Amino acid sequence: MFSPVGAQTSVPPSNSSVPGIGLAAPMNERARLESSGAGICATARCGRGMAALVAVVWGTLASNRSLPAQTVAVPDAVQADAHTWPVFRGNPQQTGVAVASLPDKLEVVWTFDAPDVIVSTAAIARGTVYVGCDDAHLYALDLRSGKPKWTFAASESVRASPTVYRDLVLFGDGAGVVHAVGAERGDSRWTFKTDGEIISSVNVAGERAVFGSYDGFIYCLNPADGRPLWKFETAGRVHGTPAVADGRVIAAGCDEYLHVLDLADGKPLSKVSMASVSGASAAVSGARAFVGTMGNTVLGIDWKSSRVAWVFKDEEREFPFMSSSAVTDRQVIFGGRDKFVRALDPGSGRQLWRFETKGRVETSPVVAGGRVYVASYDGNVYALDAAAGREVWRFESGSSFSASPAVADGRMVISTEDGRVYCFGAR
């Protein structure tokens, strides 16, 4: 039951006696939702049942009971600062909030044309832009000039957003291979093979690299050498990037659950029913995780107490939410296939404002200096006033966007589906 248009309602606890276990959507409803996701969850391994939801500590089955996991220190977390955007959404919690500020008036500083489609969101570190392409290459471009520094040939298309960790760039490809290459020269350091396409980015915290695969597993590797530490099997594809907060891995996927795992060993701590599959990445702020679903909802989940705090749904428009949220103390901001960008109150899920574009919004917004930067399938990049959702700037590219902005060092980098990389800043 939902309240009127653009509103939300608190969800009562599940009738299950096990914390965090709710009722999944009926199979015919699941099939409808999966088909709406353009194949993201269409062949998810949903038939495995509850027995599949176990952690595997490389060959050893772990218990599926709740465990009092210890918090893992995260001194080596990939974290944006004024000069870097090292990982998808900027930090391990995936809040999409930039430390760097941008000039009030953005201009195109340079462009770079790749030979194929780009849906990969760029990473920025040490004056270099790293971006993947459907031509099976990772490109390293100079942040100031856009000139190529090097390219690296992967196994298949690179749709995952790269991550910069120390002197490495980590990314997955369409063949299910995670690559680690040298950030300076693009030399191969190590590879790790999964059994499914990788769209998820690699998230790094506490000397652990975590990512999802279309083979249904969440993996954890040692980022220095690619050595496997643990893996956790879900009952569906994992499209989004797992978040990391307080020594926990928090991940949504195509099995309709938000999973909370121990970062140290991958043991499951809890799970919360989302009542729908999800292709978005969860954003975590404090005890709340925020995630959109293909069931036309955005959820505010208290991941520490394993309950859904609120559900947002526009009763007049039935469209999935594929965009990953940007989260500040006062707002949860995301796009939808209904062409709107919305801001909700993080405590209640109440809609604060909405802004209409002319195309679906599957990209993920970034908040920088009181403005929201977001791209739409209508070919525009928008800057909105974060307080009111009012448009203050736009740029028309002439091509659709699936990649999201990356912000660092006074510049914003974003790519179009026709393969053009744009860098915006002050000339």
Burial profile 162-190: b = 16 or more Cβ within 10 angstroms, e = fewer: bbbbeebbbbbbbebbbbbbebeebeebb
Backbone φ and ψ of 409, nearest 5°: 55, 40
* Two tokens, residue 133: 């392409």
What was the pLDDT predicted at 215? 98
Largest CA distance in the chain: 60
What was the pLDDT predicted at 228? 99
| CA triple 229-235-237, angle to 5 deg | 80
Q: Closest Cα partner for 156 from 186, 183, 180, 176?
A: 176
What was the pLDDT predicted at 42? 62
Q: Give me the half-sphere count of Cα atoms (radius 13 Å) on the Cβ side of residue 361.
A: 28
H or E stretch at 27: helix 27-35
Which residues, 6+ apart, have CB-to-CB distance to 265 below 8 Å?
55, 57, 62, 69, 229, 230
Mean pLDDT by 10 residues, the chain (427 residues): 32 32 35 48 44 33 31 62 96 97 96 98 98 99 99 98 98 99 98 98 97 98 98 97 98 97 98 96 98 97 97 91 97 98 98 98 97 98 98 97 98 98 96
Break the chain down into helix, strand, coil percent, rounded to 5. 5, 40, 55
SS3 227: coil
CB 361 within 8 A of CB 341: yes
What was the pLDDT predicted at 77? 75
Burial profile 369-391: b = 16 or more Cβ within 10 angstroms, e = fewer: eebbbbbbbbbbbbbbebeebeb
Going from the C-alpha of 179 to that of each of 137, 138, 142, 391, the distances in angstroms are: 11, 10, 21, 39
* Two tokens, residue 261: 């795992």
Backbone φ and ψ of 403, nearest 5°: -80, 155
Which residues, 6+ apart, have CB-to-CB distance to 235 below 8 Å?
44, 45, 46, 47, 48, 49, 52, 53, 216, 255
* Two tokens, residue 71: 């918090």
* Two tokens, residue 279: 């292709």
What was the pLDDT predicted at 39? 64
CB 41 within 8 A of CB 294: yes
- Domains belonging to the chain, first-starting first, are 8-425 (2.130.10.10)
Q: pTM score, two decimals?
A: 0.86
Q: Closest Cα partner for 274 from 328, 220, 236, 326?
A: 236
